[in-house]
Structures are given as structure tokens and as C-alpha cells.
Amino acid sequence: MQVKEIMTRSPRTVTPDTSLLEVVSLMCLYRYSGLPVMEGEKMVGFIAEKDVFHRLFPTLEDMMTEGLGTSDYSDMMSKYKDVVNLKVADLMATDVITVSPEHHILQAATTMVRHKFRRIPVAEGGVLLGMLSLGDVHKAIFQASIAGASKRVPIGI
């Protein structure tokens, strides 16, 4: 089974100038773990929840010199408002890893697991064609292996 058979076509995208407040709102409301960043028809980056959270945490050097006490977590949470006032361009990854629509779904899943991604852009030549999530892969495998093998899947699995 190929990626193109199960990918989400016409995924939600943002631009480098989109405010992070808008992006995190989309992430919270629609449970997006990440969104492609587009300039016209060209994908120029990817913004993920982990990019937002990494901005809240101190650097390794800060932790080594200052440590991290329990009271520091409140300070970290208060920085969230500052982070969401940034633009996507301030935090997005520009070295985007993608999969081809021709890849086998397990090949794409391997890439996602190896890089600890929950979703990945499907692209060819920098052109975004869709998105694929681990949930999409899991559902396809389930349908092909379990639901397809038996017309009746027991309730409660």
C-alpha cells in the first residue's frame, strides 16, 4: 500500500508570517501536531508543537550552570505568552523531512518513528501533495489486516 492511497490531501498550511497564536490555536482545536509552512506553492518549512515547547525550556548550558528547580516551571509557563507572540518564521524547521507519495506506508512510518514525528509532509520536488500521520498508517494497516480479514471485528478491541 502506498502513501498516496491514505494521505490527507489538501492539508492545512500556514505561512512564515502567520502568528504562532493562530498556529497553536489550530493545534489545540484540531489536534494538529504540526503544519507545513508555505510561500506560495513552495514548502519552506514545518512548524510542530515540539518547536513551541522547545522555546519554553532553558538551554542545556543554562540547565548545567543554573539547574532547574520546581519554581522554575511556573516561570517557564509564563513565557508561553511571549512565545505565541512570535511568528512561524521564528521557530519553524527549514530542513523539512518528507516522504514520497510512492513510498510504501511502512517505509513512511519507519521514517516517522526514526525521527520521532507524529505526522510528515508528503512532497515531490518541494511541492506539498499531502500529509501523513502515524494514525493514518495505523488505520490502514488495521483495515487491511484485521477488518479486511474478517467482516466482523469484535467490539471492545
Band (75; pLDDT cuts 50, 70, 90): confident
Label the pairing between strands 42-48 and 8-9: unpaired
* E-state strands within the chain: 8-9, 34-39, 42-48, 119-124, 127-133
pLDDT tens, position by position, 134-150: 999 999 999 999 866 55
Instruction: Tell me: pLDDT of 65 over 80.
Output: no
DSSP secondary structure, 68-84, as one string: --TTHHHHHHHTHHHHH
Q: Which domains does the chain have, with CATH numbers?
A: 3-147 (3.10.580.10)
How many angstroms separate the CA atoms of 125 and 83, rounded?
Answer: 32
